[in-house]
């Protein structure tokens, strides 16, 4: 884990408990940075991005980065899957798009949530492989 007073970068295993660990680290840093007023939104974004990385590379390595400057916090998660994320359209699935082989599949709208909570967000391919999915939030 690399840390500075304004940055965290950590490699983690892509398992479901990692989401809770990321939330705990993030909440602590936001308090230290006097950004507690955006904690709820940043935790949702961090959870969504981490969950997506875990689903893309289960059991593999992911990297979590949180940075802070004078007016913004950036949350970013790297995974080794080269496929770029594609958000599902907003709204409930229609009968035409419902996959009856997976009746409990109500996911896939996390990137829409990230877009709604952030000022800017995106996906940046990494030159050594994989991608960083990130969101910038003003404070």
**Residue 88 pLDDT more than 80?**
no
Scanning the structure block, which residue is given the tokens 């490699």?
A: 11
Q: Domain residue spans in the chain?
A: 2-91+106-138
- Residue 99, judged by CB atoms within 10 A of its CB (0-12, 13-18, 19+), counts as exposed
Pick the CATH number of 2-91+106-138 from 3.40.630.10, 3.40.50.20, 3.40.50.10490, 3.30.565.10: 3.30.565.10
Paired with 47 in beta bridges are none
Whole-model pTM: value is: 0.86
Of 105 and 45, which is predicted with more confidence? 45
pLDDT category at 17 given cuts 50, 70, 90 is very high
**Region 30-41 average pLDDT:** 96
The 10s digit of each residue's pLDDT in 41-82 is 999 999 999 999 999 999 999 999 999 999 999 999 999 999
Q: Which of 1-5, 95-99, 132-136 has the highest mean predicted lDDT (pLDDT)?
A: 132-136
Q: What strands lie across the sheet with 72-79, from one edge to the other?
A: 2-4, 7-13, 61-68, 72-79, 131-138, 120-125
């Amino acid at each position: 884990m690399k840390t500075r007073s304004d940055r965290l970068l950590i490699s983690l295993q892509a398992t479901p408990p990692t989401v809770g660990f990321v939330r705990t680290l993030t909440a602590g840093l936001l308090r230290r940075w006097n950004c507690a007023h955006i904690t709820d939104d940043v935790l949702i974004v961090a959870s969504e991005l981490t969950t997506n990385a875990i689903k893309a590379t289960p059991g593999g390595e992911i990297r979590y980065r949180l940075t802070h400057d004078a007016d913004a916090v950036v949350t970013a998660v790297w995974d080794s899957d080269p496929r770029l994320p594609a958000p599902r359209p907003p709204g409930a699935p229609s009968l035409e798009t419902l996959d009856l082989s997976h009746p409990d599949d109500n996911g896939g709208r996390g990137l829409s949530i990230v877009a709604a909570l952030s000022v800017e967000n995106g996906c940046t391919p990494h030159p050594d492989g994989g991608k960083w999915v990130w969101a910038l939030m003003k404070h």
